[in-house]
Structure 1
């Protein structure tokens, strides 16, 4: 029985399937796994611990030693993704209704989805349409994994008076510390980075299942269509912004558009944010579902959007990646 290969064929399957399975269990038989001891500790109450370990493993993959063109591209990708996502998130907070939602979307879901990107999808796309410097740029773009940049945006909005529940310094550090420890370990020892890399993917279905045990199926119904809309916004707003900025800088615009996605790890961000500050706990359930829907939507839609953009460039006589290659410049 090929469980893993089947899950891999489903966009975001390693995260989405366990999440929906446990949400179904929680809706139909909420006490089924709440029987105490190791079963409840792992499958119901373990989300916080598993996410913390996931953040440590993810932090170990962040390489801080890249320089040159790759560093510049990575910095631009990271900045565009965060600025656009944070700007839309700010609009969501400013125009949110009494229920805390904007057009049915939880603002925290907007920021978590639109400031985060799927590294595997980015690497697959630039592997086909980009050069070495485009691929190496991901080491800096990886900084948008997890809740760190979402927390930065929320802290700024809190200082501006738009968001209640501003983080204390201690709460901020408590979420950031696992990432920092992982980053230190990964940069001190390449073998440790490789060792922890396995945890980055292995932990996703387990914390997704535990997160699902806090979700009622009613939230799936409420968050599904709005989550798809969030995915559309992520692809067409952040992806197009990256495309236009890279084109203006005379870099391969396809690499800029390739960050218009949401990674599976972003599903943990609302819970991590709520753990740091209870002021964000109200819409965690629907935000988690909306982020999950955005993960699936962007995984399916972004490659189609990239194919459309590539055809447009080819009609103009552009050859990818040759006409935008900066490999030789980076080596000189």
Structure 2
């Protein structure tokens, strides 16, 4: 049976399929983990420790000796993505109540959901797209995108915009596993090779654990709002990213468009934030559902849009067919 290959055909499948499996279990039998206890309960409810290991391995996989071109490109995309999410948070906080929108088409929308969807790029998706439509250096620009992974950037945006207040030690706690992994991975390449292999393996586990905290009726209520949020992520983050890629990163906008997705790991952020700040717990489930929808939408549309843009830029660079030849004949 080709179960693995089938799952990988689904956008964000390694994250989303286990997530929805866990959500089904939680919806139909919410006390399952408590009933079985022991390791089964740990697997179903251990989102935070599983993610802690994943963040450590992500940090270990980053090579600080990346070329200057790679660092410039990835740094430009990462900073732009975070800056756009920060501006959006400032604007959204003026119109969206603390408890999120409760009724109407935008029911479930909250500042937490919007930030979580916009402040993280799907690094794996970006790398695979740029390997086909970009240069080797552009494809390698995903190295710094791991810095967006986890709740730290979301916490920084929430804190700096005054939406939530976090104690300094909470910020340290959020980034410490990543930093320790980063240091070890760069002190010894064997550590980097060993731990980086686990980043892919851990994805289904935290997806399943996260799903076991979600009631599927909440996902049903978000409806088309999740699709709309995915489209907004592409438009609102994509345009600044394309401009930054062109005028700062030295590209033609293709890399910027390829980075306008929502990372699969972003689905975990609302619940992680809620565990640290219980006032967000009421909106965490709907925010998680919206993020899951945004991951699917952006995973489908971003590769298609990037392919069209890349082809358009290639034709534009070549100029009209026959133009150069006719010019030579006239001369």
When normalised by structure 2's length, the TM-score is 0.88
Residue of structure 1 equivalent to 2:190 = 191
1:317 alignment partner, SS class = helix
2:78 alignment partner, SS class = helix
Q: Quote the Cα distance in structure 1 between the aligned partners of 2:57 and 2:271.
A: 18
Distance 1:276 1:33, change over 3 A: closer
2:34 alignment partner, SS class = coil
Gaps of 5+ in 1: 320-332
Contact 2:60 2:195 in 1 (8 A): yes
Contact 1:228 1:297 in 2 (8 A): yes
Contact 1:224 1:293 in 2 (8 A): no
Contact 2:75 2:144 in 1 (8 A): yes
Deviating 4+ runs (over 3 angstroms)? 101-104
When normalised by structure 1's length, the TM-score is 0.88
Q: Quote the Cα distance in structure 1 between the aligned partners of 2:274 and 2:193.
A: 30
1:82, distance to aligned residue in structure 2 (A)? 0.8
1:224, distance to aligned residue in structure 2 (A)? 4.1
Q: Quote the Cα distance in structure 2 between the aligned partners of 1:3 and 1:99.
A: 40
Q: What's the C-alpha RMSD, in Å, of the aligned pairs?
A: 1.9
Q: Deviations over 1:249-281 (max 9, x none)?
A: 442310121101112111111122223332332
Residue of structure 1 equivalent to 2:270 = 270
1:67, distance to aligned residue in structure 2 (A)? 4.7
List aligned pairs for 1:41-52, cutoff 5 A.
41-43=42-44, 45-52=45-52
Q: How many residues align?
A: 313
Q: Quote the Cα distance in structure 1 between the aligned partners of 2:279 and 2:60.
A: 30
Gaps of 5+ in 2: 320-331
1:282 alignment partner, SS class = helix
2:171 alignment partner, SS class = helix
Give the number of the structure whose alpha-carbon radius of gyration is greater: 2
Contact 2:89 2:161 in 1 (8 A): no
Contact 2:116 2:154 in 1 (8 A): yes
Q: Deviations over 1:156-201 (max 9, x none)?
A: 012xxxx13x100122211111111111111112221221122212
1:240, distance to aligned residue in structure 2 (A)? 2.1
